[in-house]
Structure 1
Amino acid sequence: MPERASDPITIPESLWRRPEMIEALKARDIGHLFRLLRQYAGASQTKIATMCGMAQGKVSQIMKPGGSQVTAFEVIARIADGLDMPDHARINLGLAPRHQTPDIPEDSPAAEDHATLIERLRTAKAVDAEVVTVLRNETENIRVLDRRLGNVAAAERMRAHIRQVETALRHSLPGKVRRSLAYILADSSALAGWQAIDAGNLTAAWDHFERAKLAAREAEDYALLAFAQGEQAYVLFDIDQQADARELVSDAYTNYGKLIPARLSAWLKMAEAEIVAGSTLPDHRDEKSCRNSIDEAMRLLPDGDGDAELPYVALNATHLARWRGNCLVHFGDSETIGDLKSALSAMRPGAYARAEAGLRCDLASALFAQGEIAEARAEIDAAAQLAKRTGSVRQQRRIDQLAARVTLAGL
């Protein structure tokens, strides 16, 4: 009989013990796992999809080197169940075994797996305040790289950092250190989510933000929870679910606004203003509502460049002026050009390369609306160079669309 997609994959027991398979499982690298199944078990994408309860197209995306990541716990557990992973493989993947064996010979594979688990628990116990500081600093280092050089320079380093922190958290016991690890995981995951948005990988971004919110809840940190939810709204916005995007960021402000620092509340109101301004839905693109959110953000914003407890929020008067211009350019505000030029002159060169690309694109749009074609083209060229340097797919898409409009107008 011909082979059917519903037929189970025959996976040799030896495959689960291959060094490269163990490495893929410990790293939760599902793409590598699927590629090994294809290489050593002859499993097609269709069969893998059928057994794991996924769409074939999704499996294809995951299997591509550097493709979609799988981070959601329930999806990882479904894959393990679908492939009928033996317990030692499940443990390497960070899942609980399905079968408990009370008496295990010391030289058995399961005993070896238990020894590995015990070693991980011991390693997690070695995480103290000094190690927590090192891990926090690594998040900050990656944040600086991301702001100045973009996603290309920071993404791989971020993936390794998240794996390290998540492994330590998963094997740590309740207490101050575990809460600190949860905070670092939430902060890092939110940053990874924004990197994924910038790279145009919105499915991965959503998963990063879900992990960030779960970790923020364990860390008992409402500020990080609200921030991750606010950034997650941009995933919805970028897939044209604009009403849902506004609802998500508004929900974060409503539920956590009284529990979080004023600077973050201002950030949430500006995010709401941007979503309203950029909406393509007539019922949601409302200038008055946008201006009300901006005014509220300006009222809430405290003095100074930032707060020590909010390293992930870059919002001061200069940033807000830039953001205000980004919003009001959609409504043809005549003051937008002045606001954007002031924000650009106040921006420290090289400090926020991706933000500068967006600012120059906004300025080009405002200049174009005023008929200043030559100046608009100059800003588009500058923005394009920055977007290329930072690897910002999101900004490049905006720049390409605006450049096409300017070119057409100049014909």
Structure 2
Amino acid sequence: MPEASRPQELPARLLTDPEMLNACRVRDFTRVFRLVKTRAGIYPSMIARRCELTPSRVGEVIAGRRQLLHMDVIERIADGLRIPGHMLGLARRLWETPQAFVVNEREAPQVLEPEQSALAALPGPDVDSILAMASRTSLSPATLDALRSSIEDYWRRDDQHGGEALRPAVVGQLRYVVGLLKESRPTLIQHGLYGIAAELARLTGWTYFDARQYNQARAYFTEALQLAKVIDERQFMANVLACMSLQATYQDKPADSLALVTAAQDQARSALGATPRVLSMLSMREAFAHATLGNRTATHGAITEAHRQFEQIRAGDPEPSWVSYFDEPKLIVDTGIAHGRLGETATAEPLIADALRRENHINQRGRAFHAFWLARTQLDQGKLDQACHTATQALEPASAVASERVTGHLREFYDQLAPHRQEPVVLAFEARLREVLPKRVSG
């Protein structure tokens, strides 16, 4: 970019000012825009031009009449005003790094992402506003039900194929629903829209988490929390915090994982009508955190509590749809994984094997993921033949789903085979691996 056309940098004293730091942290763009105007001399019309917003929208934000929640808009603000990504909970922006040092990072790639090229074909925010004015209709409960059904379908397809291909559609629908929130509607309809937007943001975060793009995942999970907080949906906030806790476990941050799941349990218990299934799921996430920390007593206590809560579930009791996945096979397999994380492989193996026999075969990612866990517990016990047989069976579902998490478990198992590379059963597994997934281990 020529020097003359490069966006003006914000003064260092503004970027380090506690008021600016706090406003960015909570994404309070009313305060951000006011500070940019008064401290940097960048007026609303300039803000609008640099961030690809309309002047009227910027004016409404400055007046406190509009919130900016969507990630696409937040990223444009960061880039247009040159606000470092970490201040807004985003990945490091491309312009923050000298071009000679730009690299492709697994965690938060700075090159064009799959969804961005697809989003370029979607209407811009200004067109969205025009189309919304031209087609204002009163939303009915049936419309909300249709939106919820589409989310359930997204989750099913995510289980079968992974979320990367779904992400552009999910982000597009999130933007559409956030646009609907800008209009005044009856309380029940507005409440429902916020809940749907929160679930779409969580699903987007989940697809990034499954791709091991953790910074982007955290940003969308945070957006989901903010949307749920507006309607005081504490059980759902607990669910999002539980997702963030699981991500922290994968990032080898067990202390963060425990803090997040403890906050999730606090939210759930403060909610009216917290269900036993939700509390059971949260106790199992707590067990994962304790196991990663190596705390055997606390892990066993959390497992016991998870089973105690699960026994309280009664058929017909109303429950959030998002926790329906946590059925008995899921409880059993998670119990096995928690024992496996502690190194208690003899206890873990029969539990994971039993759950695999009972699991829904449609969930390809879950079957691959759990089969690799089973193979690792068998290998840890010296059962080389069984481990390779189990892992070979896992290759078919693994090939059907685009999931970096599954690939990560495959790589871990493959690395564990290093001392046995010349064994015939290992050579046979490697041959099948090269045939079914030629690029997964070497990538």
Into which bin does the TM-score normalised by the smaller protein fall?
Answer: 0.7 to 0.9
Q: 2:299 aligns with which of 290, 295, 303?
A: 290
Amino acid aligned to 2:112: K
1:15 deviates by: 12
Distance in 2 between residues matched to 1:228 and 1:211, nearest whole Å:
10
Post-superposition Cα deviations, 1:199-235, rounded to whole Å, max 9, x if no partner, equal 1111111111111111112233221111011111223
AA matched with 2:236: L
Secondary structure (helix, strand or coil) at the match of 1:335 reads helix
Between 305-314 and 143-152, the greater mean CA deviation after superposition: 305-314
Structure 1 residues 208 and 57 mapped into 2: Cα distance closer, same or farther (>3 Å)?
closer
Question: Are 2:383 and 1:348 aligned?
Answer: no
1:275 lines up with 2:289 in the alignment: yes
Tell me the residue number matched to 2:388.
377
Native 8 Å contact 1:68 1:201 kept in 2: no
User: 2: distance between equivalents of 1:305 and 1:333?
Assistant: 33
User: Residue in 2 aligned with 1:196?
Assistant: 208
Distance change in 2, residues 1:52/1:5 (3 Å): farther
Distance in 2 (CA, whole Å) between partners of 1:297 and 1:367 is 25
TM-score normalised to the size of structure 1?
0.73
Aligned counterpart, 1:210: 222
Residue 335, structure 1, aligned to residue 383, structure 2: no
2:193 and 2:242 map into 1 onto residues whose CA distance is: 22
Distance 2:137 2:401 in 1: 38
1:59 equivalent among 82, 89, 94: 94
Contact 1:270/1:293 (CA < 8 Å) preserved in 2? yes
Decide whether aligned partners of structure 1 residues 63 and 125 sit closer, same or farther in structure 2, where only a CA change above 3 A counts.
farther
Q: Give the structure 1 partner of residue 26 of structure 2.
A: none
What CA distance in whole angstroms lies between the structure 2 residues aligned with 1:303 and 1:15? 50
> Hey, what's the Cα distance between the residues in 2 that align with 1:340 and 1:15?
50
Partner of 2:308: 299
Equivalent residue runs for 1:227-266 within 5 Å: 227-257=239-269, 259=271, 260-266=274-280
Q: 1:288, 1:182 → 2: CA distance?
A: 40
Alignment of 1:56-205 (within 5 A): 57-59=92-94, 61-62=109-110, 64-66=112-114, 93=125, 117=129, 120=132, 123=135, 125-173=137-185, 175-205=187-217
Change (3 A) 1:5 1:388: farther
Report the counterpart of residue 89 of structure 1 in structure 2: none
Which one is further off, 146-155 or 162-171? 146-155
Q: Displacement of 1:307 after TM fit? A: 6.4
Residues 49, 320 of structure 1: CA spacing in aligned structure 2 closer, same or farther, 3 A cutoff? same
Measured on the aligned residues, the alpha-carbon RMSD in Å equals 3.8
Structure 2 residue identity aligned to 1:335: T
CA contact (8 A) 1:354 1:387 kept: yes
Counterparts of 1:156 and 1:359, CA distance in 2: 28
Contact kept? 1:27, 1:163, Cα under 8 Å: yes
Partner of 1:73: none
Note the C-alpha offset of 1:241: 2.3
> Quick one: distance in 1 between partners of 2:364 and 2:204?
17
CA contact (8 A) 1:273 1:289 kept: yes
1:309 aligned partner: 319
* 1:63 to 1:155, Cα distance in 2 relative to 1, 3 A: same
Q: CA deviation at 1:27?
A: 8.6
Pairing 1:8–2:45 present: no
Distance of aligned partners of 1:163 and 1:374 in 2 relative to their CA distance in 1, 3 Å threshold: same
Choose the corresponding residue for 1:401, options 412, 419, 427.
Answer: 412
The question of whether the paired residues in 2 share the 8 Å contact of 1:31 and 1:63 is answered with: no
Distance 1:14 1:153, change over 3 A: closer
Specify the alignment match of 1:85 in structure 2: none
Distance 1:239 1:5 in 2: 39
After superposition, the Cα gap between the structure-2 partners of 1:170 and 1:380, relative to the gap in structure 1 and judged at 3 Å, is: farther
Q: Alignment length, in residue pairs? A: 344
- The 3 A distance-change label for structure 1 pair 118 and 174 is farther
Q: Give the whole-Å Cα distance in 1 for the aligned partners of 2:6 and 2:287.
A: 49
Identity of paired residues, percent?
Answer: 19
Residues 3, 354 of structure 1: alpha-carbon distance in 2 compared, 3 angstrom cutoff: same
Call closer, same or farther: CA 1:250–1:300 in 2, change over 3 Å.
Answer: same
Is the Cα–Cα contact under 8 Å of residues 31 and 65 in structure 1 kept in the other structure? Answer: no
Distance 1:172 1:201, change over 3 A: farther
- What are the ranges of 5 or more consecutive residues in structure 1 without an aligned counterpart? 18-24, 35-46, 70-91, 95-112
8 Å Cα contact 1:31/1:62 also seen in 2: no
Deviation string for 1:45-65 (max 9, x for gaps)? xx9588344489522645514
Q: Which runs of 5 or more structure 2 residues have no equivalent in the other structure?
A: 10-45, 54-67, 96-108, 118-123, 423-443
- 1:10-66: per-residue Cα shift (whole Å, max 9, x none)? 99x79969xxxxxxx9996469979xxxxxxxxxxxx95883444895226455142
Partner of 2:335: 324
| Residue pair 1:354, 1:390 contacting (<8 A) in 2 also | yes
**Aligned partner of residue 390 in structure 1, secondary structure:** coil
C-alpha distance in 2 between matches for 1:308 and 1:326: 28
| Distance (Å, rounded) in 2 between the aligned partners of 1:223 and 1:62 | 34
Report the 3-state secondary structure (helix = DSSP H, G, I; strand = E; otherwise coil) of the residue aligned with 1:151: coil
Q: What amino acid is the match of 1:310?
A: P
* TM-score after normalising by structure 2: 0.68
Supply the AA of the counterpart residue of 1:364.
A
Deviation of 1:344 (Å):
0.8
- Write the distance in 1 (CA, Å) between the matches of 2:371 and 2:146: 36
